């Protein structure tokens, strides 16, 4: 599966200075995700700045032959607090290895790999070239490379509270819910994100 796509760290463009950044913005201009405006907005407006500041790193997924961007994902490291009551003992033991447990409430505090963004390109039918499961799989493989170099074993993401999406992560890809997060999209609108994790 990995051989079907080229996964490029956008730093490869940014290290070439202004020319590389202009080239990258040209690649981004062929990306569209009408299904999720936040996913599109992040890639076009924030991914370069976040990567330059080491807040996260964005990877674009390209078809080797056509050079078409079919999707992207963004990875960072973030601290989380997990109430592991609903997890199996095996998962609890693994989480305990890389965390500190609060003696009062039993919650685990740890640093984990966050798949901060995951999005397919819907421009000119590019979305039909890669499945959501393949794109998520590429992101997880990249995290496993980081894990090999730096350790850690927990990966998490935040998903909209939509049944189909949650089924994709939980039933089809083995993630488990551990918390909810209230997010303000603007001054008035607040929506809920479901936080899910997986032990690698």
pLDDT digits (tens, 9 = 90+) for 24-47: 999 999 999 988 899 999 999 999
The structural domains of the chain, with segments of one domain joined by +, span: 2-199
Taking 70 as the pLDDT cut, the residues of the chain under it are 1-3, 185-188
- How confident is the model at residue 187, as a pLDDT? 59
- In degrees rounded to 5, what are phi and psi of residue 34? -65, -20
Alpha-carbon gap, residue 104 to 144, rounded angstroms: 33
pLDDT tens, residue by residue, 123-139: 989 999 999 999 999 99
Alpha carbon 8 to its chain centroid, in Å, reads 15
- How confident is the model at residue 185, as a pLDDT? 65
CATH architecture of 2-199: 3-Layer(aba) Sandwich (3.40)
């Amino acid at each position: 599966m990995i051989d079907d796509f080229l996964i490029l760290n956008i730093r490869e463009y940014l290290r070439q200075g202004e020319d590389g950044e202009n080239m990258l913005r040209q690649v981004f201009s062929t990306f569209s995700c009408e299904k999720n405006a936040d996913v599109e907005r992040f890639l076009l407006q924030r991914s370069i700045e976040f990567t330059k500041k080491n807040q996260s790193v964005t990877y674009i997924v390209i078809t080797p032959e056509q050079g078409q961007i079919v999707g992207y994902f963004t990875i960072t490291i973030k601290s989380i607090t997990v109430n592991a009551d609903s997890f199996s003992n095996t998962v609890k033991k693994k989480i305990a290895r890389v965390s500190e447990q609060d003696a009062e409430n039993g919650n685990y505090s740890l640093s984990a790999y966050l798949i901060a963004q995951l999005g397919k390109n819907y421009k000119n039918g590019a979305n039909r070239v890669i499945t959501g499961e393949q794109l998520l799989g590429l992101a997880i493989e990249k995290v496993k490379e980081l894990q090999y170099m730096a350790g850690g074993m927990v990966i998490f993401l935040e998903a909209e509270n939509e049944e189909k999406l949650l089924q994709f992560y939980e039933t089809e890809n083995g993630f488990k819910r551990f918390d909810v997060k209230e997010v303000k999209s603007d001054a008035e609108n607040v929506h809920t994100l479901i936080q899910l994790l997986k032990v690698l």
